[in-house]
A and B are shown apart, each in its own frame.
Chain A
Amino acid sequence: MEAAGGQAGRQVELTQAPEAPPSGPPRRSWWRDEAGEPVRRNLGLVVVLAALFGIGAVTKPDLYSDGGWVVDNIFTILKQASAIGVITVGVTFVIIGGGIDLSVGAIVALAGVWSTTVATQEYGAGGMIFTALVVGLGVGLVNGVLIAYGRLVPFIATLAMLVAARGLAAQISNKQTQVSTNSVINGIASRDVLGIPELVIILAVVVAAGWVLLNRTTFGRRTVAVGGNPEAARLAGINVRLHTVLLYALSGLCCGIGAIMLTAQATSAQAAMANLYELDAIAAAIIGGTLLSGGRGTIIGALFGVLVFSTITNLFAINNLSTEVQNMVKGGIIVAAVLVQQVQFKSMSQFLSRNQIIARSKS
């Protein structure tokens, strides 16, 4: 802007000479650093994963003694976690931004079905991927606009979308299972790159991108602000509505990616696919330390949440235990994870303060 020549002469700092700082910035241990808290939270989930592995090794020593099988099994767990993991990244963003997305499973189904119609498959793998991504993004945008500009409560808007998107998917597919005949798409689930399955690579890329986006970009900063205190964000000049739209669009885009991954795994798509994925994704985000009220959460934690669920499913299969028990254990884990985080956090900080006092009294 062009104004304000008259102020040029008054460029004085508020405090003319900076006073000598009382002391240098205190040296911090890594766990006291600002990144420390999420890391500490995730340690608990790593312990759970290790424990699950241990249980497997104890109950099925014959399988776990075979190194090749163990590697294979880890990849199986990761592959099973891949699509839901990608979807959870999007959901985590929405939750940190103060919203909720109940429509992710339905978006996956719609994107999957839309990208496997006979007409779409004629365009080849590129056309299928493009369709899935655009459908996911588009539905996410509709969610976002309904919520941000239509002033619908996120719960209601995405619940309506859940019903509508599955309906449209059923309409398009005529309730039939649509088999994907595209070997490039189907190959995503069976190909390796340098010994690592492509599905796992996609998951890693999306998680890494999500982490960077949340922790190192203005988009992530806005997300935390909008979720933590929307009024403060608005009064700081952040376009809260636009950002809300972008968050749901991001979630939709992740669903589009997830739809391709899931379609590749099942070599087909149908309107009933990805059933209740919204609950799995939300649960994973929560046990990963994401606050349901918004403003706080971690991508890595959400990933660990997904891995815990995927590992439990795998462990139960290996031990031939029934699905009912498995679901009860999953519910228990959700409650336990949240409880443990609370207790762990409290006692940790008490522990820290005690240590500090001791350190201080010694010095």
Chain B
Amino acid sequence: MTEAILRLTGVVKTFPGVRALDGVELEVRAGEVHCLLGQNGAGKSTLIKVLSGAHRPDAGRIEWLGQPVSFANPHAAMKAGIATIYQELDLVDELSVAENAFLGHEPRRLGFVRRGHMARSTRQVLARLGHPEIPPGRAVGKLPNAGKQVVSMVRALSHDARLIIMDEPSAMLAHDEVANLFRIIRDLTAQGIAVIYISHRLEEIREIGDRVTVLKDGRTTAANLPARTTPTRDLVSRMTGRTIEYVFPDRPAVATRGPELLRVDGLTRHGEFTDVSLTIHSGEIVGIAGLVGSGRSELLQTIFGARRPDSGTVQVRGRVLRPGSVGAAVRAGLGMAPEERKSQALLLGEPIYRNITLATFARYARGGFTNSGRERAEADRVAGDLDLRPRDVRRPVRTLSGGNQQKVVVARWLVGGAGRHAQGGTADLLLLDEPTRGVDVGARAELYQVIRELAGRGAGVLLVSSEVPEVLGLADRVLVMREGRVVHEAPAGELDEDRVLDLVMAGSLTEVS
């Protein structure tokens, strides 16, 4: 229990213009859950890639099982016993569970893959992970996110991994699935397997973690803190260098609620959500709480015109919006930050400013000719408002951390003056789908502040989040969705987390099986 199986000293990794790792120290013992904390851009992702063999460090020393090592590629790291489960799971949707588990190291005899053997071992490992219900022959694409994650773990175990790195494993999971994940992690550590656990959720770290190492700007600022007893204030200050609370901005008095901006009447899409009605007033933040699959993302997309409703209407300032037309929604002053930043919102190879002005470049154009100078100036202004880092708007979006990429997505709808559609601003009705997913504590607080300030200046916000405290802390009014229906609506102050979870889960336990 006490021997260190992995020890990093002074690890440095640089990329063009960025010193991603600048002297990282890390020590992981067998059988422990070692948590890695740090803001977006602190170097966690790079560190994972160095450990998993995807990057080679420029300087420093990595000792694995007492020997200095340098992994030439991810395969070498895998063979040495280090498995990585990435946030964006690297599974092949078309292949089966077993095929994914053994991808790249299929058991062979005489050049033929031993399918039976593969299926048997997969079934054994699945049972060991407490998921005997997953069929090894099922295509991975048909599994829910939690199931996919289990497959990633099966893959790690199929390599006899002694260290498993988990990058935000809980980000894609619903509440009860996280509990199961923790159970699996405890099983693994009991067998002497070490886990490096990365998460932005402090409460998870408290629950599952043994020790914590904190990164900031590519350096280790604190190592081996006890996970359960170190005060939150200490952890946050090590991460940010400042002492900020994980707090939500104050709600203004209810009196600031302005005229009605959005009215949704009886909106229905068969199989996704049914008869949803809601209103949003100027200056108001409305939150939607619900499980993944409760129809909340689909609802947002339908309001935004990205999906066509089967029935029901959407009105903006009393005018019925043309259904199924994003263009009409954008012209009416709606903006949406979709759930999947990379696949739904960003042009990763394009400069930041072009991503920020993706919905608005035409207004800066004259006679069809774009005005990149004005776009850059406006993008830079908005980027400054959101404290985008690094702020150079000509860099490709690809080079930004997850939290800063999210800021770019939000920034898109703040161009021309946030919340002032009538005066030439882009949007005064923001539909935010999981705006803080994968965003670190510091950036989260900033995003909350931004959202509240937007509302303060007359914008309406519809917020979807899997994190109940976020919905309760930020929204003025909360709608609880379950199985495509709004089951409860109340001012946020009249609800607490337990009550919401109750509403969200009720009945769903019997549905799932």
Contact = CB atoms under 8 A, between A and B. Distances in A.
Q: Do A and B come from one complex?
A: yes
Q: Which of A216, A225, A236 has the most CB of B within 10 A?
A: A236
A229 B346 contact: yes
Given A15-B385, A34-B394, A235-B326, A10 B457 contact: yes
Interface string B79-103: 0000000000000000000000000
B43 interface: no
Given A14-B385, A221-B361, A232-B345, A4 B317 contact: yes
A218 B365 contact: yes
Contact of A7 (B304, B422, B453): B422
Interface stretch (B12-20, B29-37, B159-167, B269-277): B12-20
A25 interface: yes
For the side of the interface on B, what is the size category? 35 or more
Contacts of B423: 7-8, 11
A13 B384 CA distance: 11
A6 B428 CA distance: 13
B104 interface: no
Contacts of A328: none
A6 B258 contact: yes
A236 B359 contact: yes
Given A18-B384, A217-B370, A237-B327, A3 B422 contact: yes
Interface stretch (B110-118, B126-134, B199-207, B410-418): B410-418
A225 B422 contact: no
Interface in A276-321: 295-296
A26 B392 contact: yes
B44 interface: no
A8 B338 CA distance: 29
A356 interface: yes
Interface residues of A, number: 47
A175 interface: no
A39 interface: no
A357 B18 CA distance: 9
A216 B366 CA distance: 11
A353 interface: yes
B350 interface: yes
Contacts of A15: 384-385
Contacts of B241: none
Contacts of A59: none
A342 interface: no
B229 interface: no
Interface in A229-248: 229, 231-239
A220 B329 CA distance: 23
Interface in A1-44: 1, 3-4, 6-8, 10-15, 18-19, 21-22, 25-26, 33-34
Interface in B424-441: 428
B418 A14 contact: yes
Contact of A216 (B369, B414, B454): B369
A258 B345 CA distance: 37
A235 B345 contact: yes
Interface in B297-319: 304, 306, 317-318
B344 interface: yes
Contact of B354 (A10, A217, A221): A221
Contacts of A231: 343-344
A237 B331 contact: yes
Kindly list the 4 A-B residue pairs having the minimum CB-CB distance in the complex, ordered from nearest. A237-B330, A4-B422, A353-B16, A236-B359
26 contacts: A1-B422, A4-B259, A6-B282, A10-B456, A14-B453, A15-B384, A19-B384, A25-B392, A26-B392, A216-B369, A218-B368, A221-B354, A225-B358, A228-B350, A229-B346, A229-B347, A231-B343, A232-B343, A232-B345, A237-B330, A237-B331, A238-B359, A295-B350, A350-B16, A353-B14, A353-B16
Interface of B: 14-17, 258-259, 282, 304, 306, 317-318, 326-327, 329-331, 336, 338, 343-351, 354, 358-359, 361-362, 365, 368-370, 381, 384-385, 391-392, 394, 412, 414, 417-423, 428, 450, 453-454, 456-458
Given A216-B369, A221-B361, A232-B358, 12 more contacts: A4-B422, A6-B282, A15-B384, A18-B381, A218-B362, A218-B370, A221-B370, A225-B350, A229-B347, A235-B326, A237-B359, A356-B17
